[in-house]
Structure 1
Amino acid sequence: MKITVARIDDRYIHGQVLTKWIKLLPAERIIVVSDEVAEDPMRKTLVLSVAPSNVKANAVTPEKMGRVFKNPKYADTTAMLLFGNPAEIVEAIESGVDITTVNVGGMRFDPRKKQVTEAVSVAPEDVKAFEKLNEMGVKLELRQLPGDSSQDFIKILKQKI
């Protein structure tokens, strides 16, 4: 499988993905990699229903993503991977998915999280997962839109936490 972008955005498939990311980095599939979405039939249906008609959309757990990624049947498939949080990326990598760069797009605020940027808020477990990704050698870039300049997310995170 060829990954066009691995992106954290807890809104998953939405306007920016549909109008900007998929056009700049075309993919045959959009794969939402999330335990919560994959295991909730109603949420899965809602999230996947907004995918463009010319792109196949799936929702799988991080562990299943590892199996799919290694399956020779999908060797030439291009895919955009969408995650809700960094822990799911750690799990996907540990399951065999080859992710070298992660686009940190959006993690919404809630009272137990600390706001790091206008669009990214993190809980303590998110910080630990980002640190682990950094230790694994994964480049973490902050970019809302593909045309925005890439910023070093781990550097920003360390300054704010």
Structure 2
Amino acid sequence: MKIKGRFIMATHIVLTRIDNRLVHGQVGVVWTSSIGANLLLVANDNTANDKLQQELMSATAESSGVGIRFWTIQKTIDNIHRASDRQKIFLVVRNPQDALKLVKGGVPITQLNIGNMHFSEGKEQITKKVYMDQADKDALTEIANSGVDVFVQDVPEDRKQSLKEVI
């Protein structure tokens, strides 16, 4: 348990993943069943206000038999401590900066899986499906330095590569 303010927070988050696509078949089916999650929590400010994205991701969650919630980063920070004991949460964020905000906000993240980070201008290829710029590397390093196990792993069958191995 971690203590944040007056709250004693049990860690109900079984895994946190960075994935530009957020919830899709690989996340909603393969990862969710592999880690035993029963709730997908998408922490992303844009998606929390985009009904179309929510509908598409909800269909994936429904096909896996798990619940899904769409919260802003701040709502996640403010409410994650209220998770019930029966909730096994798979927390999904779009980028390292959002993950860092959650960690700094006291969200009890112990493991951060880097899944897909697509190419964009200024990003270099780190692994087959992960591209980063210096801001990404800095955010991930800060997260790792706070005690979070940060690793790259596309699918559960792949070998985990620690952050130190890839950057």
Equivalent residues in 2 for 1:6-85, closer than 5 Å = 6-53=16-63, 54-71=65-82, 74-85=84-95
The change in CA–CA distance for 1:46 and 1:66 in structure 2 (over 3 A counts) is same
* Equivalence for 2:121: 111
TM-score of the pair, normalised by structure 1: 0.87
Q: List 4+ stretches of structure 1 deviating above 2 A.
A: 39-50, 73-76
Q: 1:139 offset after TM fit, Å? A: 1.2
Q: Aligned residue pairs: how many?
A: 156
- Determine if contact 2:93/2:99 at 8 Å carries over to the other structure: yes
Amino acid at match of 1:15: G
Q: 1:23 offset after TM fit, Å? A: 1.4
The change in CA–CA distance for 1:68 and 1:75 in structure 2 (over 3 A counts) is farther
Q: 1:84 offset after TM fit, Å? A: 0.8
Q: 1:49 offset after TM fit, Å? A: 3.2
- Determine if contact 1:4/1:27 at 8 Å carries over to the other structure: yes
Amino acid at match of 1:118: K
Q: 1: distance between equivalents of 2:29 and 2:50?
A: 26
Percent of residue pairs identical = 28
Gaps of 5+ in 2: 1-10
Gaps of 5+ in 1: none
Q: Deviations 1:15-73 (Å, cap 9, x if unpaired)?
A: 212332111112221011111211333333333332234211111112211222112x5
Q: 2: distance between equivalents of 1:9 and 1:42?
A: 18
**Aligned Cα RMSD in Å?**
1.7
